[in-house]
């Protein structure tokens, strides 16, 4: 069946934990994880709720393939109303936590209310309890995991937690599991912190929910693994170079946002690229990269494990950072690097470690630093206000600002707001490079037009993981489209968005889609899950999920006006590269997209669309 058919409801206000049967009717319509948890969420939560109010809920959800040998079957998602965006948030994470939750016998955990004092949730199979977390409050993610493992006397316990960012209300705090995997975006960790929930520790010994047809499933999973292994991106590129393989590629495309999107190419891209991570450093003769690593069940293994240069100014006398640790992934390397014009790989890794250690989103953080640097460059922010000189390209500033954010001192408080609120505070809201208050990731939509539409219409604010048309526009997966034109992008974006909704609801990683299409996922789901899971059904599920999220956002107060890009991308043409002279054609694509979606010109799903989707 794929599901364990059990959900855990934790009422933080009353300190109770209770088990409920999973709504199997919904499971047939929304599959699991992102889709199914969002269904629960929209049924139970008022769209107008203040994200940081006790009435907001937070759901941690696995998919039917989580905890199975399906490649990458280890994902879980956090669904809530995002602190950063005020929109539906769904942040997905790998590592081992999700599978362990499944092994403990739970499809999802619904957190509601707010605890009077810091607590953490301890799960050992059916034994579930909220425990005091006074001793954990104020601790980093890394310390928290260590303390819990020790006190539970179980090195195999899996932990997700918030760091000091989540405790202190940094608007883009994430929830980190297994030391350096994160449900990263939209401030889901901020919501967790607002509930006084420090961590979830889980140990599961029951195994993944019974599979409908284990034999068929093993065959389907094996066939799909072969597809990944035989594919150049998932079989070679990602394991060898990680997502960082993209740095030079995207830079050459003229789509690497640089210095708060002033430029689309970064002169030091090479210095912070995958290739650079492989090279021996002059200082200690060692390469930055130690090894690649996989999340649970993943046969791609794109994860990077690196060791920072111990002599680098950022970590002198800080041995706690010298060990091997996660990073750099492409998005982080871009946000901490190119976005600010910083070409110092070790400084990026340090900032990245701080992000992991204290749980905040490197994309939003990097982009917020970029905005601050632009404000500084424009003279709107002064050295005195920031506390140091912060010109574009300053590794010192990047490092100091990361530390300031965590200490919550001085300018750290402004950084904690994210770029949208910070730029608004200083009277220049248009300098925040994002959509729905969430910052762009690492693709400039002047060089990759489809991404502009994907960003503008993403239900959780600017995001590459909701409709990754880069795959098509850059890599030619599944078909090559021209990145510089807007034609056909509405269809492309919709197709990617709907398919991704299914992948995100299944328990697998969206990176599989470099090689897999729905046709590769479908046999695995069909063998694992009760019911018939045809291609048609899955396509409908994907579209249903997308529209459900949209309805929530609309009810929360978002309108077509929010499906837009900052003026810079619409008025300042790319200065260099293949896209030189181009702006993004969002205003042209948006109406086409609404039409393809079956929405009215205000971006509201029509009656027919809703009834077709059973919404």
State the residues that interact with another protein by CB under 8 A. 67-69, 71, 96, 99, 103, 146, 149-156, 179, 204-208, 210-211, 214, 218, 225, 229, 239, 290-299, 301, 303, 305-307, 323-325
Question: Which residue, chain included where needed, has tokens 């669904």?
Answer: 79
> How far from 579 is each of 44, 444, 460, 489, 568, CA to CA, in Å?
45, 10, 27, 16, 15
* Sequence-distant (≥ 6) Cβ neighbours of residue 109 within 8 angstroms: 7, 8, 9, 10, 59, 60, 61, 101, 121, 200
Task: Tell me the DSSP string of 7-65.
Answer: EEEEETTTTEEEEEE--HHHHHHH-SHHHHHHHHHHHHS-TT--TTSTTS-EEEEE-TT
By residue count, the chain amounts to 615
For another protein, the closer CB: 297 or 418: 297
* Shortest spacing between CB 349 and another protein, in angstroms: 13
* Shortest spacing between CB 525 and another protein, in angstroms: 15
For another protein, the closer CB: 69 or 478: 69
* Shortest spacing between CB 299 and another protein, in angstroms: 4
For another protein, the closer CB: 288 or 312: 288
For another protein, the closer CB: 156 or 559: 156
* Shortest spacing between CB 155 and another protein, in angstroms: 5
Collapsing DSSP to helix, strand or coil, 595 comes out as helix
For another protein, the closer CB: 296 or 440: 296
* Shortest spacing between CB 290 and another protein, in angstroms: 4
Give the containing element (helix H, strand E) for 435: strand 434-435
* Shortest spacing between CB 179 and another protein, in angstroms: 6
For another protein, the closer CB: 307 or 494: 307
For another protein, the closer CB: 151 or 396: 151
- Residue whose C-alpha is closest to residue 400's, from 409, 488, 250: 409
* Shortest spacing between CB 285 and another protein, in angstroms: 17
* Shortest spacing between CB 73 and another protein, in angstroms: 9
For another protein, the closer CB: 294 or 539: 294
Q: Are 460 and 431 in contact (CB under 8 A)?
A: no
* Shortest spacing between CB 507 and another protein, in angstroms: 12
Instruction: Count Cα neighbours of 297 within 13 Å in the Cβ-side half-sphere.
Output: 26
For another protein, the closer CB: 146 or 267: 146
For another protein, the closer CB: 226 or 413: 226
Collapsing DSSP to helix, strand or coil, 199 comes out as strand
* Shortest spacing between CB 305 and another protein, in angstroms: 4
Q: At what angle do helices 345-358 and 141-151 cross, to 10 degrees?
A: 50
Give the containing element (helix H, strand E) for 130: strand 127-132
Spatial distance between the Cα atoms of 439 and 551, rounded to a whole number of angstroms: 22
Task: Tell me the DSSP string of 71-123.
Answer: TTTT-EEEEEE-TTTSSEEEEEE-SSHHHHHHHTT-SEEEEES--SS-EEEEE
Encoded tokens for 41: 């969420």
- Residue whose C-alpha is closest to residue 72's, from 249, 278, 227: 227
């Amino acid at each position: 069946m794929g599901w364990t058919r059990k959900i855990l409801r934790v009422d933080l206000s009353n300190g109770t934990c209770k088990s409920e049967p999973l709504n199997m009717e919904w499971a047939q319509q929304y599959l699991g994880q992102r889709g199914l948890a969002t269904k629960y969420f929209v049924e139970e939560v008022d769209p107008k709720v203040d994200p940081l109010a006790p009435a907001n809920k937070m759901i941690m959800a696995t998919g039917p393939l989580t905890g199975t040998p399906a490649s990458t079957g280890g994902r879980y998602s956090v669904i809530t109303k995002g602190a950063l965006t005020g929109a539906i948030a769904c942040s997905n994470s790998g590592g081992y936590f999700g599978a362990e939750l499944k092994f403990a016998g739970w499809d999802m955990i619904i957190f509601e209310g707010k605890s009077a004092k810091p607590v953490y949730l301890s799960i050992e199979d059916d034994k579930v309890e909220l425990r005091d977390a006074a001793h954990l409050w104020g601790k980093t993610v890394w310390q928290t995991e260590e303390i819990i493992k020790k006190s539970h006397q179980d090195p195999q316990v899996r932990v997700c937690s918030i760091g000091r960012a989540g405790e202190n209300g940094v608007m883009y705090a994430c929830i980190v599991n297994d030391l350096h995997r994160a449900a990263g975006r939209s401030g889901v960790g901020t919501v967790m912190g607002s509930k006084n929930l420090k961590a979830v520790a889980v140990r599961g010994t029951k195994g993944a929910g019974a599979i409908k047809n284990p034999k068929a499933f093993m065959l389907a999973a094996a066939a799909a693994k072969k597809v990944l292994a035989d594919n150049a991106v998932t079989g070679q590129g990602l394991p060898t170079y990680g997502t960082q393989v993209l740095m030079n590629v995207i830079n050459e495309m003229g789509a690497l946002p640089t210095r708060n999107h002033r430029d689309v190419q970064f002169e030091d891209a090479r210095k912070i690229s995958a290739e650079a991570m492989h090279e021996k450093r002059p200082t200690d003769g060692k390469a930055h990269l130690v090894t690649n690593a996989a999340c649970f069940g993943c046969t791609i293994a794109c994860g990077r494990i690196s060791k920072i240069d111990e002599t680098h100014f950022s970590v002198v006398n800080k041995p706690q950072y010298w060990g091997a640790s996660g990073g750099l992934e492409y998005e982080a390397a871009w946000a901490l690097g190119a976005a600010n014009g910083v070409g110092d790989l070790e400084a990026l890794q340090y900032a990245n470690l701080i992000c992991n250690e204290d749980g905040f989103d490197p994309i939003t953080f990097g982009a917020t630093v970029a905005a601050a640097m632009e404000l500084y460059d424009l003279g709107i922010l002064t050295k005195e206000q920031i506390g140091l000189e912060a010109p574009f390209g300053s590794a010192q500033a990047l490092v100091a600002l990361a530390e300031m954010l965590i200490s919550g001192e001085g300018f750290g408080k402004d950084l904690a707001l994210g770029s949208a609120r910070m730029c608004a505070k200083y009277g220049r809201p248009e300098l925040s490079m994002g959509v729905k208050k969430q910052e762009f990731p690492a693709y400039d939509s002047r060089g990759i037009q489809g991404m502009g539409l994907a960003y503008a219409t993403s239900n959780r604010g600017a995001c590459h993981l909701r409709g990754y048309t880069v795959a098509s526009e850059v890599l030619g997966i599944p078909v090559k489209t021209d990145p510089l034109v807007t034609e056909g992008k509405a269809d492309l974006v919709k197709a990617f968005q709907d398919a991704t909704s299914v992948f995100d609801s299944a328990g697998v990683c969206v990176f599989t889609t470099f090689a897999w299409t729905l046709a590769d996922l479908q046999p695995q789901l069909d063998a694992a899950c009760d019911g018939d899971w045809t291609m048609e059904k899955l396509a409908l599920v994907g579209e249903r999920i997308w529209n459900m999220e949209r309805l929530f956002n609309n009810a929360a107060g978002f309108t077509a006006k929010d499906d837009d890009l900052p003026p810079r991308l619409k008025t300042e043409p790319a200065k260099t590269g293949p896209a030189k002279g181009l702006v993004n054609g969002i205003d042209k694509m948006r109406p086409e997209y609404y039409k393809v979606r079956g929405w009215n010109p205000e971006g509201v799903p029509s009656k027919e669309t809703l009834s077709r989707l059973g919404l």
